[in-house]
């Protein structure tokens, strides 16, 4: 019983549910562990597809990478992979290593969408502008492109303050050139958006 409770605590699960007997608790623990194993296997498959699939640009360095306008998906994939490689943290069990690992996992979803070439055109355009601006170290332009991607339908877009949203809304009432209302519509997208911002912060710090 003690070992079962210890495992549940480590998994962040309740030790005992109302009306639950010992056998019920044991079955619940086994179901939780099986679900986590399935999720882990799925995540490993996503990482392998996102970072293991050749692009034809894998031998390039950031200094030699060129991103056209409009960009090819493989150019943006190469940019993300190279920047993540530059960020790679080797000091284990640090906050920075955890941020890197999480960003790598979340950005795998973005890379897979690029591989499938199914990003909305306005998101693809602004992601391209963001990557090009980073290569030129024009971080005002890069952050503006990120803002254009992230504004979405959400009342509180990722990483924005109320003041920023208010100012952005005023600018958009004057110009209807940007339409990214579909972006923040699922948890996976919110995660890669947040990780893209963290990657941008890292690039700017270099």
How confident is the model over 168-179, as pLDDT tens digits? 555 544 444 444
pLDDT of residue 82: 95
Name the least confident of 23-37, 94-108, 125-139. 23-37
Looking at the predicted structure, is the pLDDT value of residue 42 above 90?
no
Indicate if 47 and 62 belong to the same structural domain. no
SS3 track for the chain: CHHHHHHHHHCCCCCCCCCCCHHHHHHHHHHHHHHHHHHHHHHHHHHHHHHHCCCCCCCCCCCCCCCCCCCCHHHHHHHHHHHHHHHCCCCCCCHHHHHHHHHHHHHHHHHHHHHCCCCCHHHHHHHHHHHHHHHCCCHHHHHHHHHHHHCCCCCCCCCCCHHHHHHHHHHHHHCCCCCCCCCCCCHHHHHHHHHHHHHHHHHHHC
pLDDT of residue 39: 63
pTM value > 0.75: no
pLDDT at 175: 42
The overall average pLDDT reported for the chain is 82
**Do 157 and 190 share a domain, yes or no?**
yes
Residues 159 and 182 reside in one and the same domain = yes
Question: What residue numbers bound the domain in which 161 lies?
Answer: 58-205
| Residues 187 and 136 reside in one and the same domain | yes
pLDDT at residue 53, as a whole number: 86
* pLDDT at position 163: 46
Residues 69 and 24 reside in one and the same domain = no
């Amino acid at each position: 019983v003690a070992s079962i409770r210890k495992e549940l605590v480590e998994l962040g699960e309740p030790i005992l549910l109302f009306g639950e007997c010992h056998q019920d608790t044991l079955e619940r623990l086994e179901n939780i562990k099986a679900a986590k194993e399935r999720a882990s296997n799925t995540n490993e498959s996503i990482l392998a597809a996102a970072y293991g699939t050749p692009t034809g640009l894998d031998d390039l360095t950031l200094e030699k990478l060129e991103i056209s306008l409009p960009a090819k998906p493989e150019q943006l994939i190469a940019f993300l992979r190279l920047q993540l490689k530059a960020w790679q943290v080797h000091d284990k069990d640090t906050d920075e290593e955890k941020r890197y690992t999480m960003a790598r996992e979340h950005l795998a979803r973005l890379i897979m969408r690029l591989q499938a070439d199914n990003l909305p055109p306005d998101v693809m355009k602004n992601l391209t502008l963001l990557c090009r601006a980073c290569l030129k170290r024009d971080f005002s332009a890069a952050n503006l492109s990120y803002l254009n991607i992230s504004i979405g339908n959400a009342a509180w877009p990722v990483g924005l303050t109320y003041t920023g949203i208010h100012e952005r809304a005023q600018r958009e009432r004057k110009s209807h050139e940007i339409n990214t209302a579909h972006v923040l519509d699922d948890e996976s997208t919110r995660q890669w958006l947040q990780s893209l911002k963290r990657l941008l912060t890292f690039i700017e710090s270099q």
